[in-house]
Amino acid sequence: MTISDKRLRRHLLTAVVIKLLVLTVLWWLFIRDSHVSVDSNTIGNRFGVPTSTQGASK
């Protein structure tokens, strides 16, 4: 392995680590506290599927 190969590997590893850190910080700041409520009737109406309040249809 040549010196340029080692340098390239180090630069790529550094870039990947920095990107992971940035993604983690962005997730922590903007997405962590987001909550999505799911209502089966609303989803059923959106997709045109009749929903049952008793569970799975037979």
The pLDDT assigned to 1 comes to 82
Cβ contacts of residue 41 below 8 Å, gap of 6+?
Answer: 51
The pLDDT assigned to 52 comes to 64
The parent domain of residue 13 ranges over 1-31
- Check residue 22 and report its DSSP letter: H
The predicted-structure confidence for 14-28, as pLDDT tens digits, reads as follows 999 999 999 999 999
Number of structural domains, the chain? Answer: 1
Distance, in Å, from the CA atom of 28 to the CA atom of 47, rounded to the nearest integer, reads: 32
Distance, in Å, from the CA atom of 47 to the CA atom of 19, rounded to the nearest integer, reads: 37
Distance, in Å, from the CA atom of 56 to the CA atom of 34, rounded to the nearest integer, reads: 29
The pLDDT assigned to 56 comes to 57
Position 46 in a domain: no
Give me the count of residues in the chain: 58
The predicted-structure confidence for 5-58, as pLDDT tens digits, reads as follows 999 999 999 999 999 999 999 999 999 988 888 888 888 888 877 766 665 555
